[in-house]
Amino acid sequence: MRPYSLDLRQKIIHAREKQQCSIRQLAKNFGVAKSFVQKIIKQYQETGDLKPRHSGGRPPKINPEQTVVLLEIINENNDATLWELAELFEKKTGLKLSTSTIDRISRKFDDTVKKKHCMPQKNIVREFNKKDLNIGIK
């Protein structure tokens, strides 16, 4: 769920200061939960700020310095598979990463892994000659 806009938060605080309404009345007037109004008023009184606080989530597994190391490994070994990149990263940093994490980070920085082709890019078409055909009829 997305946080309420800064504009709505400012309107609630402005209405509270101007009209001295109850929290329940403010929640009803603005169509939000009473707990949200309480939270906004408390946040404004404590910090003076109305911006939404950072929502939770899992902290990143690697720090920015390690991300730079991973991107360097990807650039140096552009032909390596994700498994090989994971092994190289573990050897260099001692930290084990899953292939999905490496893929996610490389896509985030538009640094994709490209495999070299074994076959030539253009299909070579040979001309067919009747002389080449040997079906055993004389």
> What is the per-residue pLDDT across 35-80, written as a single tens digit (0 to 9) for each?
999 999 999 999 888 888 777 788 888 999 999 999 999 999 888 8
What would the two tokens of residue 60 be?
Answer: 């990143």
Q: Residues with Cβ < 8 Å from 101, sequence gap 6 or more?
A: 61, 62
Position 70 scores a pLDDT of 93
86 by DSSP, 3-state: which? Answer: helix
Confidence of residue 130 (pLDDT cuts 50, 70, 90): low
Contact 82, 103 (CB under 8 A): yes
Position 12 scores a pLDDT of 93
Residue 25 predicted with pLDDT over 70? yes
Position 119 scores a pLDDT of 61
Output the pTM of the full model: 0.48
| 47 residue type, one letter | T
Residue 94 predicted with pLDDT over 90? yes
- CA distances 19 to 6, 14, 23, 134, 136, Å, are 20, 8, 11, 100, 104
Q: How many CB atoms lie within 10 A of CB 40?
A: 22
95 by DSSP, 3-state: which? Answer: coil
Residue 124 predicted with pLDDT over 70? no
Domain regions of the chain by residue span: 6-47, 64-108
Would you put residue 98 in left (φ > 0), alpha (ψ -120 to 50) or beta?
beta
Which segment of 38-42, 79-83, 123-127 scores lowest on mean pLDDT? Answer: 123-127
